[in-house]
Structure 1
Amino acid sequence: MSLTFDGTVLVPAADPEDGERTAAALTPHLSPSSRVIVVNVIEKAGGAPDKASVEQREEYARTIFERARGPLEERAGTVETAILFGTDVVETIFEAATERDVDAVVFEPRGGSRFVELLTGDVARRLVTEASVPVVALPRTDD
């Protein structure tokens, strides 16, 4: 089966490794007309003190984008990045997807134990079960 994204896809990335790994997995499915928007959500604490300053988190997001751009720029027609802010990561991703009129949200599920998923709210599961736009989970490309 061949899957090609020749429209606009939104790619959420949680950390530099996740961004690079997802970009590498997505690259074979892109065409010169593909528009890829890589996003990182800076989760606001909703009244509680944040773990790191906004400046530190924005710098971290730029590191994520730098790592993701490498594989993508070789295949995609356009690569954009955006730092998003919200108290709920999944809601923020879908709001951005709707605002940017994307064709799909594309991600590669990260590994982790069931215990970690319970603590973090399992963003991957919520992306699929709460989808307001098509969502594509790429096969994991474990090293």
Structure 2
Amino acid sequence: MPLTFDGTILVPAADPDDGERTAAALAPYLSPSSRVIVVNVIEKAGGAPDKASVEQREEYAKEIFERARAPLEERAGSVETAVLFGTDVVETIFDAAVERDVDAVVFEPRESNRFVELLTGDVAHRLVKEASVPVVALPRNEG
């Protein structure tokens, strides 16, 4: 039986390329009853000065959403977007997932090396390890 998402799924996207790539990888698994919520987390510095203004980051999120929408709207019943704010990206994603009563968090792991993961904390690894809702890692689409 092929995998399909016919409920509500939350899709975190870190940047425009990630959003577009993940949306393209996800689209074949959607059905007309799928509800997709694409989110971008604006990480707050927790008291330290932010690197960019909230307005700049919200504009960046709009670009992410624009690039993610096209492949999703062709297949999903509905596509929503949300900008989330938090000091911990993974916690913020799961808080939103629980708040929106999603069936799963779905993402495509980004390519990185172990050194970068060690320094930055691997969000993909934490999404799977700290899951409070089902998490699906899509196969990487090498295209």
- Give TM-score scaled by structure 1 length: 0.99
Measure how far apart 1:118 and its partner are. Answer: 1.1
Counterpart of 2:76? 76
Counterpart of 1:18? 18
Aligned length: 143
Q: Give the alignment of 1:37-48 within 5 angstroms.
A: 37-48=37-48
Which amino acid in structure 2 is aligned with residue 58 of structure 1?
A: E
Post-superposition Cα deviations, 1:24-80, rounded to whole Å, max 9, x if no partner, equal: 000000000000000000000000110100000000000000000010000000000
Which amino acid in structure 1 is aligned with residue 64 of structure 2?
A: I
Which amino acid in structure 1 is aligned with residue 58 of structure 2?
A: E
Q: What CA distance in whole angstroms lies between the structure 2 residues aligned with 1:83 and 1:18? A: 15
Counterpart of 1:90? 90
Aligned-residue RMSD, C-alpha: 0.6
Q: Does 1:100 align with 2:91?
A: no
Q: What CA distance in whole angstroms lies between the structure 2 residues aligned with 1:91 and 1:101? A: 15
Measure how far apart 1:142 and its partner are. Answer: 1.8
Structure 1 segments (4+ residues) deviating >6 Å: none
Q: Does 1:64 align with 2:96?
A: no
Q: Secondary structure at the match of 2:41?
A: strand
Which amino acid in structure 1 is aligned with residue 121 of structure 2?
A: G
Structure 2 portions without partners, runs of 5+: none
Q: What CA distance in whole angstroms lies between the structure 2 residues aligned with 1:63 and 1:73? A: 16
Q: Secondary structure at the match of 1:110?
A: coil
Measure how far apart 1:120 and its partner are. Answer: 1.6
Q: Does 1:136 align with 2:125?
A: no
Structure 1 portions without partners, runs of 5+: none
Measure how far apart 1:119 and its partner are. Answer: 1.6
Q: What CA distance in whole angstroms lies between the structure 1 residues aligned with 2:3 and 2:119? A: 33
Q: What CA distance in whole angstroms lies between the structure 2 residues aligned with 1:142 and 1:110? A: 11
Which amino acid in structure 2 is aligned with residue 60 of structure 1?
A: Y
Measure how far apart 1:2 and its partner are. Answer: 1.1
Post-superposition Cα deviations, 1:61-100, rounded to whole Å, max 9, x if no partner, equal: 0000000001000000000000000000000000000000
Q: Secondary structure at the match of 2:58?
A: helix
Q: Give the alignment of 1:27-38 within 5 angstroms.
A: 27-38=27-38
Which amino acid in structure 1 is aligned with residue 57 of structure 2?
A: R
Q: Secondary structure at the match of 2:18?
A: helix
